Structure 1
Amino acid sequence: MKKIIPLLLIALLFLSCSDNGFNNKNPYIPNYTFSVTFDLNFPAYSNLKFVSNAIYYAGPEVGPRGIYVFNTGSGYNAFDAACPNQSLSSCSTLVLDGINVICPCDDEEYSLFTGQGKLQYPLKQYRVEVNGNILRVYN
């Protein structure tokens, strides 16, 4: 009996681990591993210091369509710039429209605050880490 109790405690510890519900699986968008940093002191990224502003970044390390990074006022969101409900094609790069992005393939609109639209898949979200004026976006 004394051996079973520690094993149960260890099993309970492993079962209680969580990934904070973070799920960015989407059948239309490949799952790239990347890490990119943005220094908010640079003019190209300084708009991110202000609420409801977004930047588009299309560096080669972030995948075929790039990413959008958005200041929500309480933190930052980062989303893949590929339309989440379309296969990759010539029209599947999201276009910024204020606090939303629009997919030119189907005219579907997605919120940069929540990533939600009206179709099956929301925007593919990435993790954002803030360290002073440096943002790190990664998958």
Structure 2
Amino acid sequence: MKYLPHLFILTLFLGCSKDSADRNPFLQETNFRFDLNLNLPLYNGLNTIGNPVYVGNNGVGLRGVFVMKTSIDVFFAFEASCPNHAPNSCSTMSLNGQNVTCSCEDFEYSLFTGQLLNRPDDGERYFDLLFYRAVQSGNTVTISN
């Protein structure tokens, strides 16, 4: 019984520790919040499933955000900077249908899953797209981190 407080403290420390192995060392996560009005022509394409939109406003993500409606009421938002190297002159990805491509090394990522589609088989660790929250309320989709 006298070891119960020590066991509790040990459990608390272990439960609160964060594994840095899951963090992407190339992309600094920034806090932001941005509302997309689906009635505006700029974001009206998000009313259709599988039609991605690039949001490049200042302060939205690091290099902007790709947003796509993936089902009736689900939206996904991903960082526009390639997750497999530090942001540089070629790291802002471009839309290629429902995928995005990084021109630095031609990595291609799915906007339905965020996964790297042409992952090299060289034993190195590669990261998928950095995911942001996207929540719909009426005709507004709020993306945030």
Q: Is the 8 A contact 1:86 1:105 kept in 2?
A: no
Counterpart-to-counterpart distance in 1, 2:106 and 2:136: 32
Gaps of 5+ in 1: 16-23
* Aligned position for 1:50: 48
TM score, norm. by length of structure 1? 0.80
Q: Are 2:128 and 1:122 aligned?
A: yes
Aligned to 1:29: 27
Matched residue count = 121
Contact 1:25 1:31 in 2 (8 A): no
CA contact (8 A) 1:25 1:124 kept: no
1:61 aligns with 2:59: yes
How many Å separate the matches in 2 of 1:88 and 1:54? Answer: 22
Q: For 1:28-48, what per-residue CA distance to the aligned partner results, in whole angstroms no more than 9, with x for missing partners?
A: 111100000001000000000
- Superposition TM-score, scaled by structure 2 size: 0.77
> Secondary structure of the residue that 1:129 maps to in structure 2?
strand
CA RMSD after TM alignment:
1.9
Q: How far 1:63 moved relative to its partner? A: 3.6
Equivalence for 1:132: 138
Query: Counterpart in 1 of 2:18?
Result: none
**3-state SS, counterpart of residue 59 of structure 2:** helix
Q: CA deviation at 1:69?
A: 0.4
Where 2:45 maps in the other structure, the secondary structure is helix
The alignment-based identity, stated in percent, is: 40
Q: Which residue of 1 aligns with 2:101?
A: 102
Corresponding residue SS for 1:48: helix
Task: State the alpha-carbon separation in 2 of the partners of residues 25 and 98 from structure 1.
Answer: 28
CA distance in 2, matches of 1:53, 1:78: 12
Could you tell me how far apart the structure 1 residues matched to 2:127 and 2:86 are? 12
**1:72-111 equivalent positions in 2, closer than 5 A:** 72-74=70-72, 75-111=74-110
Displacement of 1:60 after TM fit? 1.2
Alignment counterpart, residue 71 of structure 1, candidates 69, 72, 89: 69
Dislocated runs of 4+, deviation >4 Å: none
C-alpha displacement of 1:126: 0.2
